[in-house]
Structure 1
């Protein structure tokens, strides 16, 4: 395993890195409350911390569920929270054409579990020069992640992280 920087946090140095925050960047106040509390707890416990919130929950089950305020508003909230608390930040991206804009606002690009094998999305994320965290799809066996890592390596990702998401109804 190699280490790399996400903002001022070193990932892959043997310590558990906590990536956490509200599911959705619903409001500046909520994001600040969560970031402040998590920073305090992680500092106390000695864990590196990356603040995470989504600007758009495009994977909601129902079309009637709140998805968020959109990319511009959501990224502004996430970026502001990171600056206020001195934290590195991450968010999901869902489409290749979002990669460059998202990379300007956050330190780590995150690929949602259900999109983890999408070559064009992985390529766009890698080519931003930011490290990429891929959430392993619950439908994948661990050994299938080798292909995801290989794609990111071929696209010269500056850092690669895989996040285990569990399984559904077994593998394959």
Structure 2
């Protein structure tokens, strides 16, 4: 399901309305060159495959394992780059916000405010995001059931904003792993909002003793296929030209050169289940 409020953001794109939509980009804005390189390639692929596309890059990474980890190049500088990508390629854009005072600031630059999974119960953050009148994409906490996400949706809607989406990103399994319960996709759709599968963060291996989060990127295709097969409305995929040198989440990002082949397969799966 692509709701009308999301379709309006895709008005400059030609796409197949029966397709899933894609949110994709690098984990974080590392440089102007990186965001434009990724947006250029992904937008071309999506245009050729008829996939509606939202460009994603975090302007700051506030939740890092180590104090020495890269967090960003400066909030407004990074947001300017994201906004410029959207303007050049006629794409809607999204990024995370981490505190209620960031909502209004970020809303000047991006179209969709993303609420990080660890903050999905943060009432003041959800209300502040809602009050911008932007679309709000809430990631399901690793510690929350799909059914319980109705309370996050309620907070946004009761603040006067009906434009809500939910993203599944796995559930904590022990201390250093996540599992995906695909029952959450139809369960969250029953709340009445589009549901997106985060195909990269759901493969994280957090809390490593090295201080660097691990991952299983070789399973991105498996997670993605299963998500489409179970009816996900959209997919979230972080991608980078060279994940090995990425400054954040390199261990679970998809190499940019592999994205086209993956999306070609997923479009075929989508057509089979319709």
Settle same-fold status: TM greater than 0.5. Answer: yes
Shift of 1:4: 3.1
Shift of 1:94: 0.4
Distance in structure 1 (CA, Å) of the matches to 2:168 and 2:18: 17
**Partner in structure 1 of residue 155 of structure 2:** 151
* SS in structure 2 at match of 1:153: helix
Q: 8 Å contact 1:91–1:109 — kept in the other structure?
A: yes
Distance in structure 2 (CA, Å) of the matches to 1:46 and 1:105: 26
Distance in structure 2 (CA, Å) of the matches to 1:117 and 1:45: 36
Shift of 1:8: 2.5
- Structure 1 unaligned blocks of 5 or more: none
TM-score by length of 1: 0.92
The count of corresponding residues between Structure 1 and Structure 2 is 169
Write out the 4+ residue segments of structure 1 that deviate beyond 3 Å after TM superposition: none
TM-score by length of 2: 0.59
Matches within 5 A, 1:132-143: 132-143=136-147
> Are 2:116 and 1:112 equivalent residues in the alignment?
yes
Greater CA radius of gyration, 1 or 2?
A: 2
**Partner in structure 2 of residue 22 of structure 1:** 26
Distance in structure 2 (CA, Å) of the matches to 1:161 and 1:19: 12
- Structure 2 unaligned blocks of 5 or more: 12-16, 174-178, 182-274
Residue of 75, 89, 93 corresponding to 1:71: 75
* CA RMSD in angstroms, aligned pairs only: 1.8
**Partner in structure 2 of residue 8 of structure 1:** 9
